[in-house]
Amino acid sequence: MITLYCFTPIAGLPDASPFVVKAMTLLRMAGLDYVEDRKGFAKAPKGKQPYIDDGGAIVADSTFIRFHLEKTRGIDFDAHLTEEQKAVGWCVEKMCEEHLYWIVARLFWLDDANFERGPANFFRGIPAVIRPLAKWYMRRRIAKNLWTQGIGRHSVAEVDVLGVRDIEALATLIGDRPYLFGENRCGADATVFAFLAAIMAPLAESPIRDAALAKPNLVAYRDRMMARYFPK
């Protein structure tokens, strides 16, 4: 049995982290049973979640979890795609994970109102006396990471422009298809779904969320993936 180390559900999302939701979706796409462990962050080998324990094999990072599943279970999430589609899928994933992710991080962590709606809930298990310090430390650390990465150097309005551009690109790519490349879902769909679900959740108000909710095809895509892999 695979153990998936993750955070916690929030605002109708299977997990607070889009990377965890991506891993969950891949496991469900593969038809693999797994159990969730929400107390393993302290032992995370890369200081991040998700990671899995697959019969003693510890695999960290959602992309390497995918590679592990493909290698050990003989799964090919992209078997039906052309080589060009596989390349596009990889580019779309990296746009979500290496660009849109930082925009979402700034949206959730540096905006005071959005922080209180979302990430502040992560600190409830910390003793009240040190909770404000813990919040301050994490927000300061994330702000520093955002500055180093580059997104943190832009104004809020500029970041919104970049985020909306990502949303528009996803809406154009999906078009009127059920999934990214047609009738059958692929590995990249797990990533796209995870990030769209996070952006559309009622946790952070922003022009980026408004743009996503204004795209009927993206809302339908999010709902389709949610109903298929995380039915209530």
- Contact (Cβ atoms closer than 8 angstroms) between residue 33 and residue 40: no
- Report the mean per-residue pLDDT for the chain: 95
Sketch the domain layout of the chain as residue ranges.
2-73, 83-229
**Structure confidence by residue, pLDDT tens digits, 82-110:** 999 999 999 999 999 999 999 999 999 99
**Structure confidence by residue, pLDDT tens digits, 62-71:** 999 999 999 9
Could you check whether the bond before residue 50 is cis, i.e. omega within 30 degrees of 0?
yes
DSSP 3-state of 3: strand
What pLDDT is stored for residue 203 in this prediction? 85
The beta strands (E) that lie in 38-169 are given as: 51-54, 57-60
Topology, domain 2-73: Glutaredoxin (3.40.30)
Secondary structure element (H or E) that encloses residue 34, with its range: strand 34-37
Tell me the average pLDDT across 18-35: 97
For strands 2-5 and 51-54, give the pairing: antiparallel
Query: Structure pTM?
Result: 0.94
Which strand ranges, in their side-by-side order, compose the sheet holding 57-60?
A: 34-37, 2-5, 51-54, 57-60
**C-alpha neighbours within 13 Å on the C-beta side of residue 92:** 27
Measure the CA–CA gap between 213 and 64, rounded to whole angstroms.
Answer: 31
**Structure confidence by residue, pLDDT tens digits, 149-203:** 999 999 999 999 999 999 999 999 999 999 999 999 999 999 999 999 999 999 8
Topology, domain 83-229: Glutathione S-transferase Yfyf (Class Pi); Chain A, domain 2 (1.20.1050)
